[in-house]
Amino acid sequence: MLLQKLYLLNLFPDYFEEYRDFIPENERNNLIEAYYQRLTSNDPKVVIEAGTRFSAWETKISRLIADSNELKQASERDIANSQIECWYIKEKCFFPENYILDNLQNILHIPTYIVHGRYDIVCNAANAWELVKTWQKLSDNKYTPELIYTSSSGHSQKEAENIDVLVNYMDRLMQKT
């Protein structure tokens, strides 16, 4: 996690500064907690400003090319997403470390499609690869999830290539039922 944070700082120092500088210096030792306090504030102005900053940071780092129209004041939906996402990050997604890999044997039989943006810097592409390799090993190669790295996408499911691949996979799943 620390290496990923350092990578984000090196790749997006200007974006990070905008995100960080909204929080007073004396609270910057835990930006997620500081944002969470503001995103759940009783003051609607504070919630809107924090939601706009958090949403802009997420949009900038999760897409290969961020849409500048989405970086202005956040919508109610963007703010709600920011609140939920910040809460999940704060709670470490409610999973202990390595939970998915440690419990993979429970879902080996489920047809699985993994779509991962080649330029996703939010979630490491090597994690998707490790998941597939572990899946193959645990199932003695009986089950292998389909993994596709989209060549012109980042993390966001809203990017065109990710949308196309996800819709294609959903169509394939529907045909199997």
- The last residue of a domain, from among 39, 67, 94: 94
Query: Do 60 and 104 fall into the same domain?
Result: no
The model's pTM is: 0.82
C-alpha radius of gyration, the chain, whole number: 18
Query: Do 62 and 120 fall into the same domain?
Result: no
Angstrom distance (rounded) from CA 129 to CA 127: 5
Q: Which two tokens stand for residue 56?
A: 């802009």
Q: Decide if 64 contacts 22 (C-beta within 8 A).
A: no
Question: pLDDT tens per residue, the chain (177 residues)?
Answer: 444 566 677 888 888 999 999 999 999 999 999 999 999 999 999 999 999 999 999 888 888 887 766 667 788 998 999 999 999 999 988 999 889 999 999 999 888 899 999 999 888 899 999 999 999 999 887 878 999 999 999 999 889 999 999 999 999 888 876
Domain of 121 in residue numbering reads as 99-176
Domain total of the chain: 2
DSSP one-letter code for 116: E
DSSP one-letter code for 67: -
Angstrom distance (rounded) from CA 177 to CA 44: 46
Q: Which two tokens stand for residue 117?
A: 């943006």
Query: Do 161 and 107 fall into the same domain?
Result: yes
Helix (H, G, I), strand (E, B) or coil at 141: coil
Query: What confidence score (pLDDT) does residue 3 get?
Result: 47
Query: What confidence score (pLDDT) does residue 69 get?
Result: 64
- The last residue of a domain, from among 94, 123, 143: 94
Angstrom distance (rounded) from CA 59 to CA 122: 11
Query: What confidence score (pLDDT) does residue 93 get?
Result: 87
Q: Which amino acid is at 71?
A: L
Query: Do 88 and 20 fall into the same domain?
Result: yes
- The last residue of a domain, from among 32, 64, 94: 94
Query: What confidence score (pLDDT) does residue 111 get?
Result: 85
